[in-house]
Amino acid sequence: MNILVINCGSSSLKYQLIKMENEAVLAKGLVERIGIEGSILTHKAKGDKFVQEEPMKDHKDAIKLVLEALIDENHGVIKSMDEISAVGHRVVHGGEKYSKSVIVNDEVMKELEACAKLAPLHNPANIIGINACKTLMPNTPMVVVFDTAFHQTMPEKAYMYALPYEFYKEHQIRKYGFHGTSHKYVSQKAAEAMGKDIKDLKMVTCHIGNGSSCTAVDGGKSVDTSMGFTPLDGLVMGTRSGSLDPAVVTYLMKELNCSPDEVNDILNKKSGLIGISGLSSDFRDIKQAAWDGNERAKLAVDMLTYRIEQYIGSYAVAMKGLDCIVFTAGVGENDFYSRGIVCRDLEFMGVKIDEEVNKATVGDFAELSTKDSKVKVFVIPTNEELMIAKETLDLIQK
C-alpha cells in the first residue's frame, strides 16, 4: 500500500511516496516557484535525481507534474495512479476543532477555510493543494494531518492567555502550538528506545530547526508547548523573535511609525538569529562566526541555548518530573555544540551526557546520556512525512 504525502507552501510543494509495508520512501521531491517564472520540479527516485523546468501556473499544474513523474516510464516508481491508496496532506492549523487527523469531506473543507484566518500564510496554500489533488484524483481518499492537533491535549491553564476572556470566545485567541506531528513522532520513538510505555514517561521534545519549539509530553500527551497563537512565540529561531514583552510591539508601532504588517515582518523575518547577529539565519554560520570571535554571533548562540534550557526547566516543573529530553530537526539532530551547552547547563537536574557520543552524532539516532544520568537524552531524526503517512493509513483502514 502506497501513501502519497503532500506538504504545500504558497509557492512550493514537497512530496513523498511511501510504501507502508516497509515504510520505504519510493520517491520524493520538491516543486518550487509555483505560479512564478522558473517553476521547477526536482524528483528523486531509484537513487537518481530528475529535474524538470516547466511553467506551472498553479498547484494543480504542479501536482499533475508530480503524478506524471511518479508514473513515468523512466524515473517513475509506480505503474498507475491506482497504486496510490491515499493522500496525506500536512495542514498547519486545525484550530480547536481538530485534535486528530481526519478524512477530507465537504465539512472538513469548510472548517479548514474557517481556520485560514488563524494561519493566513499557510492554510490557504494547504487548501489549494487538497483541492488540486481532489480534482486530479477524485477517487483517492484524502486525509489531513494538522500541526496543531497533538497539542489539543494541553490543559486550559497552559493554553489560555491572560487577556479578557471574550477574546478567546469571540476571536479564538489562545495558544495552539505547532510542529505537533514532529513532537508526536519523536516522543513515540523515544519511548520505544527506552523500552517503556509512553504513558509512564515525562519528556521534553526540542524541535530546533529554522523554526523551533519545545513541548512537554506527559504520558504521551502534549501538556505545554513553546509556540503559541502563531509559530512566532517561544524560542529564538532563524528569523523569528520568539517570546518578547508584547509592549514592544505597540512601542515599535508608535516609535517607528510601523504598520501591523511591518511589525509582523520585523518579528517574523528580521529577528531571531539573523536579527541578533546581523549575519545569517543559518545556525552553521552563526556557530562558525561565534567560534571566530564574533560577539553578536556568540550572543545569538547564548540566547538560543538559554531559552531552550528555560523551557526544559519550566516543563520539568509543569510535569513534576523529567525522564527524557529529545533533540530533533536541523539543529537538534546535527549540532553537538548547542546540545552540549544545554545538557551541561542542566547537569544540576541530573542530566549527564557522553561528550564523545554527542560530538560524533550528526543526523542519526543516538542516546547521548550516560548510564548513570537521571534523565535520558536522545537525538532522534524527525520524520513528519512518515508520521503523516501512518496517520493517513490508520484512518483509511478504519
Binding site for ligand ADP (CB under 6 A): 209-211, 238, 282-284, 329-331, 334-335, 362
Using the minimum distance from each CB to ligand ADP, give the nearer residue, 335 or 367: 335
Query: Which residue matches cell numbers 497539542?
Result: 151
74 marked as part of a ligand binding site = no
Tell whether 229 is in a known binding site: no
CB of 240 to ligand ADP, least distance (A): 10
Is there a binding annotation on residue 282? yes
CB of 385 to ligand ADP, least distance (A): 12
User: Do residues 169 and 160 touch, judged by C-beta distance below 8 A?
Assistant: no
CB of 251 to ligand ADP, least distance (A): 29
Smallest separation (angstroms) from ligand ADP to the CB of 243: 18
Answer yes or no: is 77 a known binding residue. Answer: no
147 catalytic, yes or no? yes
What is the distance between the alpha carbons of residues 58 and 87, in angstroms, rounded to a whole number? 19
Q: Report CA Rg, the chain.
A: 21
- Looking at beta carbons only, is 9 or 76 nearer to ligand ADP? 9
In whole angstroms, the minimum distance from the beta carbon of 306 to ligand ADP comes to 17
- Yes or no: say if 279 and 289 are a contact pair by the CB < 8 Å rule: yes
Determine if residue 334 is labeled as part of a ligand binding site: yes
Q: 39 or 182, CB closer to ligand ADP?
A: 182
Q: What is the dihedral of CA 313, 315, 316, 317, to 10 degrees?
A: 90
Q: Is 384 known to sit in a ligand binding site? A: yes
Number of residue whose CB is nearest ligand ADP: 330
> Which residues make beta-bridge pairs with 2?
19, 84
Catalytic residue among 48, 61, 82, 147: 147
Q: Which is nearer to ligand ADP, 385 or 391 (CB)?
A: 385
CB count within 10 Å of CB 125 equals: 22
Q: Closer CB to ligand ADP, residue 230 or residue 334?
A: 334
Active centre residues (catalytic): 147
Residues making up the binding site for Mg(2+): 7, 384
**Positions at the binding site for ATP:** 14, 207-211, 282-284, 330-334
> Residues forming the annotated binding site for substrate?
90
